[in-house]
Structure 1
Amino acid sequence: MFFLFSASLSAQKVEFIKLNQNIKDKFSRTKSLTLIDNRADKNIGTANYKGDDVQVKFSNENVKNYVESWFAEDNKTKGSNDITVLIEEIKISEFKNTGITKAKIKVSSFINRNGKYYFINRYNNALDYNSKTTPNIPREIAYSISQIFSTLINDSYSHIAMSTPILDEQLNNYEVIVGNNLKFVNTKELIGGVYKDFRTFSMQKPEPEYHIDKNKKGKVVGVKNREDLSISGEELFGYVEEGKFYRLTPVGFLEMMKDDKGFYIVSSRLELFPPQNASGAMIGGMAGGLVGALIGAAIDSGKSAKRQNDAGLSNIYIDQLTGSYIFD
């Protein structure tokens, strides 16, 4: 009986997370990449495929060695920057009564200078997979995790770090430390004007060259520069008027409000990430360009005014460190 039980365990199917994308720092600015795995539970979990529970795991379960070797292999020419990647959570949850599988992933990056960490960027979200539309969920999860790591690392080479220093012993509490120093979070009144990106909004530095454009009814229809030329949606984050912030989305400018949980807009995953672009946009959003392009295309083509009645609107909260949407 023990032999049969052992055999059944060894026969469990596995989908491996393969870190094989190119993470070469094209400008050779980075000297080292160190990984810290702070997950309380290193077991990622299982997802069902054709009736079998398939375990999702890294090809090399020594994740620290796996990631650091990956960086070293792709970066023979070294620079002077020391980057640290912090894994906080990678966990799969299955909801078999609905056919939905979620993968919660939280991975952050920092630059290490003189023994202090400075936050660069992070991925902090849950990806949804529907068994009716995703043939092989374990494979999709493994691929998405690999994409998230490569996108975050590649972006971290050139992404400007925040200025708040974090001591080594404070790293687990970085979110609170950095958040306490964000101007847009702590200011009594937001500064009016147009913001090109989340970084300028977080520092409350509107673009002096831009102004909102309204029609005869007083509705905001776009943004123009000093030459009165329209600005593409790809170059916009939102605007503040009369102390209220309106964020650009694929369905137009939506007011960003605040409660005791943080900042949010009333929308849905369906509105913010249309099905044909959803997973790629949520991953590519770390680098900023992909989501901006999707929004810009919608705004510039005049499709932004239409909202779907069946979109299932709710409060979608904003990651105060990155400006990304957070889905549970």
Structure 2
Amino acid sequence: MKKLIFFLLISATVAAQKVELITLNQNIKDKKGFIKSLTLIDNRSDKVIGSVIDKDEKAEIKFADADLENHFEKWFQNDNNKVGNTDIVIMLENLKVYDEQDENKTFPYAKAKIKISGFLKRNDKYYFINRFDNVIVCNPKTVSHPQKYLAQQISDVISEFIKITYSGTVSGTYIPENEINKYNEYLIKNNKALSNSVLENGVYTSFKTFYNQQPSFEYRLEKNKKGKVVRLIKNQLSTSFSEMYCYVENGVAYKLTPVGFDEMKRNEKGFYIYTSRVNLFADTKSGGVMIGAIAGGVVGALIGAAIDSGSNGANGAVSGIGFKSTQESNVYIDSLTGAYIFEK
């Protein structure tokens, strides 16, 4: 009898555990009518998303529809009556939620790690379009229920990423269908900045020119007596720093950011700078930082800016999603897109 009561108590506890559902129901209409189909490749090695703590209780986050592949197809069909002739493939590579206490912080932060990529498929060939690879941080001081916040952020990121992929620039290099799961290794070979042993000195106007190791000889830098870069010169005239992405001097790259130039170091993962969100996130016109849980159109703009953070923007700033954390860590430069990848 005691064993039965114990079993029932345990069962009741498990059943009472909070569950927050990710409902993928935003409008993903292709306004130009170019897209014929939307297919998902769920490439996650572990399909369990995870749990976070909400007021001393564990709250698990799940998809409302466990059959994601079927859901994506129906989702697109329901929102798109008029279709074109382009097939889009979305690859979900990673999705995890967890609590993490950062260094020198007194309490943990609920976080969501998401990596998602988009491709155009033609016959048995895939063409890379873009990807979003980041950690979204929830601020416990301003958010009452972290699981609700993160579930909504995940839903927003996925839906807005899909719409951005519809009109994204397609890479010229194709990936054979049997290599799609190794697309990064397949495409990264074209990144000359990573494959060359020595970087070409000069000023680079975009991530693409850095990727291809094609500095612009129209530009040069001027320094003050302390050796600090103070001016960008184009054809003998002073111009805005926003026209540059980075510069290389003596084989060392320096990335333009809102707080100055940060050295781009390299390890087995690629190039990175040691910085924080507070140093890279752009402010809104009203002075407040752009954070998530806001109108879908703005979220889409933020995700688009995060994906396109390889461009110069406002002195290398990126519009952010999630809490503007002061946590410093290695922030990687996506080897295919130039976007910032936060891991903390």
Give the TM-score of the pair, scaled to structure 1: 0.82
Matching of residue 316 in structure 1 with residue 331 in structure 2: yes
Matching of residue 41 in structure 1 with residue 61 in structure 2: no
Mapped partners of 2:310, 2:272: distance in 1: 21
Q: 1:17 to 1:232 in 2, by over 3 A?
A: farther
- More displaced stretch, 182-191 vs 84-93: 182-191
Q: 1:293 to 1:263 in 2, by over 3 A?
A: closer
Matching of residue 245 in structure 1 with residue 250 in structure 2: no
- Alignment deviations for residues 75-116 of structure 1 (CA, whole Å, 9 cap, x no partner): 322222211111111111224783222212111111112301
User: Corresponding residue for 2:17?
Assistant: 12
Gaps of 5+ in 1: 299-309
Residue 36 (structure 1) shift: 0.8
Residue 162 (structure 1) shift: 2.6
Mapped partners of 2:290, 2:232: distance in 1: 25
> Runs of 4 or more off by more than 6 Å in structure 1?
none
Residue 297 (structure 1) shift: 7.5
Mapped partners of 2:165, 2:92: distance in 1: 15
Contact 2:131 2:307 in 1 (8 A): no
Residue 294 (structure 1) shift: 5.1
Mapped partners of 2:147, 2:28: distance in 1: 24
Mapped partners of 2:263, 2:65: distance in 1: 45
Give the TM-score of the pair, scaled to structure 2: 0.78
Matching of residue 51 in structure 1 with residue 56 in structure 2: yes
Mapped partners of 2:183, 2:65: distance in 1: 28
Identity of matched residues, %: 42
Secondary structure of the equivalent of 1:320? coil
- More displaced stretch, 257-266 vs 174-183: 257-266
| 1:199-238 matched pairs, under 5 angstroms | 199-207=208-216, 210-217=218-225, 219-226=228-235, 228=237, 230-231=239-240, 233=242, 235-238=243-246
Q: 1:117 to 1:140 in 2, by over 3 A?
A: same
Q: 1:21 to 1:199 in 2, by over 3 A?
A: farther
Q: 1:127 to 1:119 in 2, by over 3 A?
A: same
Contact 1:212 1:220 in 2 (8 A): no
Contact 1:155 1:287 in 2 (8 A): no
Mapped partners of 2:260, 2:201: distance in 1: 19
Gaps of 5+ in 2: 283-287, 293-298, 319-324
| 1:8-157 matched pairs, under 5 angstroms | 8-95=13-100, 98-157=107-166
Task: Supply the RMSD in Å over aligned alpha carbons.
Answer: 3.2
| 1:166-205 matched pairs, under 5 angstroms | 166-205=175-214
Q: 1:244 to 1:130 in 2, by over 3 A?
A: same
Mapped partners of 1:227, 1:32: distance in 2: 51
Letter in 2 for 1:276: V
Mapped partners of 2:231, 2:159: distance in 1: 34
Letter in 2 for 1:195: Y
Q: 1:201 to 1:165 in 2, by over 3 A?
A: same
Contact 2:308 2:338 in 1 (8 A): no
Q: Report how many aligned residue pairs link the two structures.
A: 315
